[in-house]
């Protein structure tokens, strides 16, 4: 813990780090607000459902707890990981913000209705504040862990943890008929593109990210 405290103290002495961290939090907040309005809009104007080669051939499984609490556990673990490694915070937060903004654009353009047999998520669940019903393309549950896998790729343990999480979430949302198969499949390609886009846009933050030699 003392080592972590010393890392924070060293980082906070750098004005560039403070500015980068503040800007990343601001960008993340803006992306969450944008996603909220985009999700509500997509849900309000969603059209009819369509057939799906996977969902049309599998029953609905009761995966609500895995969907909700699995998401909660993923975010907690990611938060702990970044808080223990302050150098990773600015770039990771900015990557999540860009991911959220890109997804907000996609769900604003695509208004396919939920699959008729889609699992109903408890409206009192915290996840209900981030999943609105019409915000289907692309799957955030699949895409975000895969984005983290690309970002933390040099660390083989984290890489496979995030890849496994992404695949598991992809299976869960399909088993619950919460996403169409195209939402899950496209998430891998879009997240891969976002990862490389953020590395290009935020080069200085990415170099700081990689400078944590103990992590990589």
Tokens 């750098």 sit at which residue? 14
7-21, 69-83, 178-192: least confident range: 7-21
pLDDT digits over 52-61, tens only? 999 999 999 9
Distance in Å from the first CA to the final CA of the chain? 19
What does each C-alpha distance from 170 to 41, 178, 207 come to in angstroms? 24, 10, 31
Cα–Cα distance between 79 and 2 in angstroms, integer? 19
Predicted pLDDT of residue 19? 94
Q: Tell me if residue 199 falls in helix, strand or coil.
A: helix
On whether the CB atoms of residues 102 and 190 are closer than 8 A, the answer is yes
Q: Is the pTM of this model over 0.75?
A: yes
pLDDT digits over 116-132, tens only? 999 877 655 555 555 65
* Nearest in space to 132 (alpha carbons), one of 84, 66, 179, 184: 179
211, with CB counted inside 10 A (0-12, 13-18, 19+), is: exposed
CB atoms within 10 A of CB 100: 23
What is the percent of the chain with per-residue pLDDT over 90, rounded to a whole number?
A: 71
For all residues of the chain together, what is the average pLDDT? 91
CB atoms within 10 A of CB 130: 16
Contacts of 184 (CB under 8 A, 6+ apart): 138, 139, 142, 170, 173, 174
On whether the CB atoms of residues 91 and 206 are closer than 8 A, the answer is yes
Q: Which two tokens stand for residue 113?
A: 């209705």
pLDDT digits over 44-91, tens only? 888 888 999 999 999 999 998 899 899 999 999 999 999 999 999 999
In total, the chain counts a number of residues equal to 216
């Amino acid at each position: 813990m003392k080592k972590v405290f010393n890392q924070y103290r060293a980082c906070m002495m750098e004005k560039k780090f403070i500015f980068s961290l503040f800007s990343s939090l601001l960008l993340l907040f803006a992306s969450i607000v944008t996603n909220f309005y985009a999700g509500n809009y997509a849900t309000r104007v969603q059209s009819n459902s369509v057939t799906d080669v996977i969902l049309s051939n599998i029953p609905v499984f009761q995966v609500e707890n895995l969907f909700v609490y699995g998401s909660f556990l993923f975010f907690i673990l990611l938060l702990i990981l970044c808080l223990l490694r302050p150098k990773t915070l600015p770039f990771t937060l900015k990557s999540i913000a860009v991911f959220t903004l890109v997804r907000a654009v996609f769900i604003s353009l695509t208004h396919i209705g939920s699959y008729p047999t889609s699992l109903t998520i408890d409206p009192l669940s915290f996840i209900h504040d981030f999943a609105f019903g019409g915000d289907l393309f692309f799957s955030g549950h699949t895409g975000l862990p895969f984005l983290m896998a690309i970002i933390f790729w040099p660390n083989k343990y984290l890489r496979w943890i995030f890849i496994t999480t992404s695949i598991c979430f992809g299976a869960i949302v399909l088993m619950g008929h919460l996403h169409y198969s195209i939402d899950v499949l496209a998430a891998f390609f879009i997240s891969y593109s976002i990862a490389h886009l953020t590395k290009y846009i935020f080069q200085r933050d990415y170099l700081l990210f990689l400078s944590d030699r103990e992590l990589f």
